Structure 1
Amino acid sequence: MKIAFSPCPNDTFVFHALVHGLVPGAPEFDVTFADVDVTNTAALDGRFDLVKVSYAALPWLLEDYRLVPCGGALGRGCGPLVVTRPGQRIETVAVPGDRTTAYLLFRLWASTPYQIKVIPFNEIMPGVASGRFDAGLVIHEARFTYQRYGLTSVVDLGQWWEEQTGLPIPLGAIIARPSLVDDATGWIRQSVRMAWADPAMSRDFVKRHAQEMDDDVIDGHISLYVNNFTEDLGAEGREAARVLLTRAADANLVPAVDL
Structure 2
Amino acid sequence: MTTELNIAFSPCPNDTFVFHAWAHGLVPDAPQLSVTYADIDITNTLAADGAGPEVLKISYAALPWVLDRYRLLPCGGALGRGCGPLLLTAGGPGSVQRASDLAGRRIAVPSERSTAYLLFRLWAAQQVSGGIGEIVVMPFDEIMPAVRDGRIDAGLVIHEARFTYPSYGLGLLTDLGSWWESDTGLPIPLGAIIARRDLDAEAVSGWIRSSLQYAWDHPTDSREYVLSHAQELSPEVAKSHIDLYVNDFSMNLGEDGYAAITALLGRAAAEGLVPAIDPALLG
Taking structure 1 as the reference length, the TM-score comes to 0.98
| Pairwise CA distance, 1:32 | 0.2
**3-state SS of 2:87 partner:** strand
**Which one of 3, 9, 14 corresponds to residue 5 of structure 1?**
9
* 1:103 and 2:117 matched: yes
The residue aligned with 2:192 is: 173
| Pairwise CA distance, 1:154 | 0.5
The residue aligned with 2:99 is: none
**3-state SS of 2:8 partner:** strand
* 1:124 and 2:173 matched: no
Matched residues, number: 259
1:226 and 1:200 map into 2 onto residues whose CA distance is 15
Moved over 6 A (4+): none
2:163 and 2:225 map into 1 onto residues whose CA distance is 21
* 1:147 and 2:166 matched: yes
**Which one of 43, 54, 59 corresponds to residue 54 of structure 1?**
59
- 1:1-259 matches, cutoff 5 A: 1-44=5-48, 45-87=50-92, 88-89=95-96, 90=102, 91-111=105-125, 112=128, 113-114=131-132, 115-178=134-197, 179-258=199-278, 259=282
Gaps of 5+ in 1: none
1:60 and 1:47 map into 2 onto residues whose CA distance is 13
- Higher mean C-alpha deviation, range 172-181 or range 225-234: 172-181
| Pairwise CA distance, 1:25 | 1.0
Which whole-Å deviations, capped at 9, do the CAs of 1:48-107 have from their partners, x for residues lacking one? 111000000000010100000000000000000000012413411100011011001101
**3-state SS of 2:32 partner:** coil
| Pairwise CA distance, 1:180 | 2.6
| Pairwise CA distance, 1:211 | 4.0
RMSD of aligned alpha carbons:
0.9
| Pairwise CA distance, 1:19 | 1.1
2:110 and 2:178 map into 1 onto residues whose CA distance is 19
| Pairwise CA distance, 1:216 | 1.2
| Pairwise CA distance, 1:176 | 0.3
| Pairwise CA distance, 1:41 | 0.6
Taking structure 2 as the reference length, the TM-score comes to 0.90
| Pairwise CA distance, 1:3 | 0.2
Structure possessing the higher radius of gyration over alpha carbons:
2
1:253 and 1:232 map into 2 onto residues whose CA distance is 27
Identity of aligned residues (%): 60
Gaps of 5+ in 2: 97-101
2:79 and 2:256 map into 1 onto residues whose CA distance is 10
1:163 and 1:214 map into 2 onto residues whose CA distance is 32
